[in-house]
Structure 1
Amino acid sequence: MKSFAGRDILSLKEFERNEFFHVFDVASQLEPIARNRHNSDMLTHKTLVTAFYQPSTRTRLAHEAGMHRLGGHVT
């Protein structure tokens, strides 16, 4: 499996099968944080860059809120 570090993922076609399973494993580790509405510092010193080509305030705000809840920053 290739590292996700430094990769720009723009399409699901860029994933290999085992990478999907890795994403699902990480998602299951994050689920308790979401269910219990806790904050985390797991993304401290990380930045999420968003680029929405269609006006989608709800989607943009959901991504930003999630990043902030995990301790990261949004640009």
Structure 2
Amino acid sequence: MNLLHIFATNVTLYRKKGNLSQEKLAELAGLHRTYISSVEREKRNISIDNIQAIAEALEVEPYKLFIERDEENVF
């Protein structure tokens, strides 16, 4: 289990489910668009504060961003 991969995948899935661009998600979370991009590409280790900011912007509980999903059970 790779938590960085799971987190990045879930951020992307929830962002797309909410019809949000990376730019809009970044704005809602108070972060830069390139930061969101690097999180989704698994290029960044992320702080707890930023996990919370992204979860709030996506309107999900933070723990849901760490649930491993298979392709058949996306949500």
Larger fraction in helix: 2
Structure of greater Rg: 1
Report the TM-score, using the length of structure 2 for normalisation: 0.29
Report the TM-score, using the length of structure 1 for normalisation: 0.29
